[in-house]
């Protein structure tokens, strides 16, 4: 009898989601669409948040930030503080869901730096991370 249950290691893998917030301070979010590619860039000199990660759209520029407050992080998405040490100075993402409270996005894998933690999900561009056992 064949068992189709995932191993514990596979079950612990999740896509890394983050919330794009603060768009109302820039151009709003009406122009954003599911599937749009965005760029994340650390902003270590930000005077309000030393873990700030700004979000940019090619051709448009700065459109918001990765949420870093319990009031702006939606659902189980990762905060900027949680992401900060997991990415380089820049990273890429993709818009997945647009809501009135924020925009849910996923990180995209850099193909030249394939990470063993990123294999085994349905969208090869979405980064996954192992969750702690417990």
Q: What one-character-per-residue DSSP string does 71-133 give?
A: TT--TTPBPHHHHHTTS-SEEEEEEEEE-SS-EEEEEE--GGG--GGGTTSSSTTB-EEEPPP
Averages of pLDDT over each 10 residues, the chain, 134 residues: 43 75 91 96 95 96 95 93 93 93 85 44 49 47
pLDDT of residue 32: 94
pLDDT of residue 111: 52
Q: What is the pTM for the complete model shown?
A: 0.73
- 43 contacts 54 by C-beta, under 8 angstroms: yes
pLDDT of residue 15: 83
Backbone phi and psi for residue 37, each to the nearest 5 degrees, phi listed first: -90, 135
pLDDT of residue 65: 96
Structural domains of the chain, with CATH: 11-130 (3.30.70)
Q: How many CB atoms lie within 10 A of CB 30?
A: 8
List the beta bridge partners of residue 54.
Answer: 41, 65
pLDDT of residue 125: 52
Instruction: Give exposure, 109-131, as e/b (b: 16+ Cβ within 10 Å).
Output: bbeeeeeeebeebeeebbbbbee
């Amino acid at each position: 009898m064949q068992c189709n249950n995932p191993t514990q290691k596979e079950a612990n893998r999740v896509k890394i989601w983050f919330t794009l917030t603060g768009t109302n301070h820039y151009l709003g979010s009406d122009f954003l669409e599911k599937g749009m590619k965005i760029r994340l860039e650390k902003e270590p000199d930000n005077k309000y948040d030393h873990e700030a990660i700004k979000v940019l759209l090619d051709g448009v520029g700065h459109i918001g930030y990765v949420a870093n407050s319990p009031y702006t992080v939606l659902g189980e998405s990762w905060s900027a503080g949680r992401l900060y040490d997991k990415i380089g100075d820049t990273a890429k993402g993709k818009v997945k869901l647009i809501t009135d409270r924020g925009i849910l996005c996923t990180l995209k894998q850099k193909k030249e730096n394939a990470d063993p933690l990123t294999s085994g999900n349905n969208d090869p561009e979405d980064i996954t991370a192992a969750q702690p056992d417990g």
